[in-house]
Amino acid sequence: MQFGSDNIAPAHPAIMDAVARANEGDLPSYGTDQLTKRVQQRFSEVFERDVAVFFVPTGTAANALAISHFAGPGSLVLCHRAAHAYIDECGATEFFSGGAKMLPLAGESGKLTALAMNDGLGGLSDRMPARIVTLTQATECGAVYAVREVASLTEAARKRGLKVHMDGARFANAVAALGVSPADITWRAGVDVMSFGGAKNGCLGAEAVVFFDAPDADGFDDRRRRAGAVISKARFVSAQFSAYLADNLWLTLAAHANAMAKMLADGLERLPGARLWHRREANEIFVSLPQETEERLGLASHRWITPGDGANGRMLRFVCSWATTPAEVEAFLEAALRR
């Protein structure tokens, strides 16, 4: 199970410590405390721009609230057909929007392209207004958009009057993999709003919606409140982000997870009969293994199906986290090789 998800890892000690330290005395609730304000300011520093930041309880809430902020009933949301928001969130975006239509598009390794977007809109955009496109960074197939790929997509989106959302559940892994600044891969590349995830990378539970143009956030606070997504004791989320964003901890943790995934992928690839379905670029690996290997290692719970993956139900997913150790990877690979 240790490669089942980055959600299964504990929180990083520095983050846990920050939570403990925040537990001192009375503090205003619902995000009006000074700690929360300082952390919001810290987001602006990280992104080199005055951003509007809203903490929310889960990644699904972040995606669905951010997207539905721009897409009401009767509008189109463009997404990859493997997008988490499309297949794994129980229709949250459609629900929060009161009935937007998500238009699923194809694309290599979970990536959207301007071409696929324009094709998809062909028969539809004169019948319903398309409002927003959501891309995932890193993608659901473990790939990472380059800056120019994001820019090319957002340029096409802008021409059609679309806003651009980035699902950054694994944003840290993408930034660490790319080695670019958070600003370069988001607003400077044309992204309007993002879901900034912490839970998969060392936090207890810390997710944020970040608007790169603050006026876009008008009305978002009410939207968040009526979704039951305003945390009363915000200090405990702020404390997590405070430690997470300090001293580049978030990128250090993500870089480690990526490195562990590289080590694991390199090993898996060398297994006889193994096939990698996507290039490993961040902390996820999609692979198929001989049935014997699968059964021997008890990997049934790793099985992973995405629409149109062509893997015929034979794909497995492995995820490394900040807490994965080289020894774990080695032990697993050794077990895999043994017979």
Q: What part of residues 70-99 is at the interface with a second copy (CB under 8 A)?
A: 72-75, 82, 87-92, 94-99
Give the residue with the Cβ less far from a second copy, 29 or 44.
29
Q: How would you classify the pairing of strands 193-197 and 130-136?
A: unpaired
With CB under 8 A as the contact rule, the residue among 31, 59, 110, 267 that binds a second copy is: 59
Using the structure block, give the residue that is written with the tokens 């998800």. 5
| Minimum separation from the CB atom of position 291 to a second copy (A) | 20
Half-sphere exposure of 132 (CA within 13 A, CB side): 29
Give the residue with the Cβ less far from a second copy, 294 or 328.
328
| Minimum separation from the CB atom of position 297 to a second copy (A) | 17
# chain residues binding a second copy, by CB under 8 A: 81
CA distance 308 to 233: 43
Contact predicate 320/283, CB 8 Å: yes
CA distance 63 to 66: 5
Which range, of 109-117, 179-187, 197-205, 331-339, touches a second copy by CB under 8 A? 197-205
Residues 269-308 binding a second copy (CB under 8 A) are 305-308
Residues 6 or more apart whose CB falls under 8 angstroms from that of 167 comprise 59, 63, 83, 84, 85, 134, 135, 136, 137, 194, 195
SS (H, E, C) 91-116: CHHHHHHCCCEEEEECCHHHCCCHHH
Give the residue with the Cβ less far from a second copy, 7 or 41.
7
Residues 203-262 binding a second copy (CB under 8 A) are 204-205, 222-223, 225-233, 236
| Minimum separation from the CB atom of position 329 to a second copy (A) | 14
| Per CB under 8 A, 137 contacts a second copy | no
| Per CB under 8 A, 27 contacts a second copy | yes
Which range, of 16-24, 131-139, 154-162, 270-278, touches a second copy by CB under 8 A? 16-24
Which range, of 25-33, 39-47, 180-188, 281-289, touches a second copy by CB under 8 A? 25-33
What are the structure tokens assigned to 190, written together?
A: 């044309």
| Residue 68 DSSP label | H
CA distance 85 to 136: 9
What are the structure tokens assigned to 278, written together?
A: 């996507």
Give the residue with the Cβ less far from a second copy, 56 or 282.
56
With CB under 8 A as the contact rule, the residue among 18, 19, 164, 217 that binds a second copy is: 19
Residues 176-195 binding a second copy (CB under 8 A) are none
Which range, of 22-30, 39-47, 143-151, 268-276, touches a second copy by CB under 8 A? 22-30
Buried b / exposed e across 116-149, counting CB within 10 Å, b at 16+? Answer: bbeebbeeebeeeebbbbbbbbbbbbbbbbeeeb
Give the residue with the Cβ less far from a second copy, 149 or 207.
207
| Per CB under 8 A, 11 contacts a second copy | yes
Which range, of 42-50, 59-67, 185-193, 265-273, touches a second copy by CB under 8 A? 59-67
Q: What angle do CA 208, 30, 163 make, to 5 degrees?
A: 35
Residues 96-125 binding a second copy (CB under 8 A) are 96-102, 104, 120, 122-124
Using CA atoms, how far residue 166 sits from 2, 39, 75, 172, 190, in Å, is 28, 21, 18, 12, 10
